[in-house]
Structure 1
Amino acid sequence: MLKLAVLISGGGSNLKALLDAAADPAYPARVVAVGSDTDAAGLAHAEAAGVPTFIVRPRDYATREEWGQALAAAIREHGVSGVSAPGPASGPGSASGAGSASGPTSDPDPVRDAAREPGLVVSAGLMRILPAGFVRAFSPNLINTHPALLPLFPGAHAVRDALVAGATETGVTVHVIDEGVDTGPALRRAAVQVRPGETEEELHERIKQLERPLLVETVREIAAGELDLRIAASGAVDETDHRRDRSPETDHSTPCKERTRWQ
């Protein structure tokens, strides 16, 4: 069973989709902790499901790297370990459920960490760029959803940028997080047509309708061993969709270079 640590900043609609999927005993992953950089409304979804939550606020740390170390420590406290670990964290944090991110932590212990099953960290609406040390600690078991067909329209305003550029098609990408901004290898994409006169809010909501099931299915594939993140992170993954029982009419998880059209 793959253990998930989910990171959010807002309402947590993607988190809710994962929690709902994980409620099915047949789903091969479980959300074991939900973290945030702020008192996010979406934490209520985790609390309602009995999942521990924690908050690690960047303002409580002198540097982004120190914040990343504290965030990594909080995730490991909840049983999700990475390939390597950053140095010990310092500074305050807050938590509810099982454990706290506050205070100094002990140095990484390879024996202790090896006893914990490796998990997957899912950035599902975390509105922060993760520090390089954090990325190295969990890579390649670290994924993100982005509301565009990457590599087009990276950054925080992807939906608006697509409209300004006059794109007739955009969508969502699930990708491995690397040390850049939305530059990691794409795992899955789903496309949506841009409607004439559509507002940013309307388009973003339609993208979210694709984003939630795409994330749930991608996590399922990772947990089932159908998608190898080590291969994906190496750049050797075939970006075309390899899943069966899907037709071109219903499954649009294909490379954006083949699917994106411009006016």
Structure 2
Amino acid sequence: MPRVATGESVVSRAVRVVEAFGIDDEALTVGDIARRTGLHVATASRLIEELVRVGWLERNGKDVRIGMRLWEIASRSSPTLGLREAAMPFMEDLHQVIGYDVQLAILEGTEVLFVERLSSPGEVVNYSRIAGRLPAHASSSGLVLLAHADPAGQELAMAAPMKAFTRNTIHTPAQLRTTLARIRREGYALCPGHIYADTTGIAAPVRGRDGTVVAALGLIMPNDDSAFAKVPAVQACARGISRVMASTSTRTS
């Protein structure tokens, strides 16, 4: 693999260019990408043109965007594709009945990664989005996933800095340990005002064929007295997804 004088391969630099795009970046300029990657502007420009030629990026004047070809490849090969397909009918039912944001998440280290979402614009403030991340300790979905993670993963989360979004956010190892034990005992997470004061997060575990928790189904709704009444619906949908995951795995194994 060709390398530059620093020893970094061309592929590594190309990856840096693609990863310069954040969740909120619809488009960047060459200068933006150069600054974020630490590459010389001429080098960044050359790599961008190569990536445009293969369809991984698109360029319109000064604007550089993620290309449809990259999206196509990522969507086709996503390891969460089966999970999302199993979950979507249940998510649609829950979204139609409850009327608030419904989301599906997996655990990535000390963060929760959202792989699917159905939203109701204007209903609630929701920081999550598809392919977006949040600290696991602050999210109802993240807490469910941490509660069922291996001990090493839990200890990693407890040792990491815990950002407090509001006064209700879990921010100490002792609080996190107690909360995870309660979630394992009760089978759900209910987090009023943990990320935004006016919203409540509810989440329940989704299990795979062997019974291990592979994802979390979450509901984001207003922070009011009706939140607890929505827990059984979230749990029922999570169990439904789990049944489909188990039967699909059995048929394809």
Q: TM-score, normalised by structure 1?
A: 0.27
Name the one with the larger helix percent: 2
If asked which structure has higher relative contact order (CA below 8 Å, sep 6+), I would say 1
Greater Rg, structure 1 or structure 2? 2
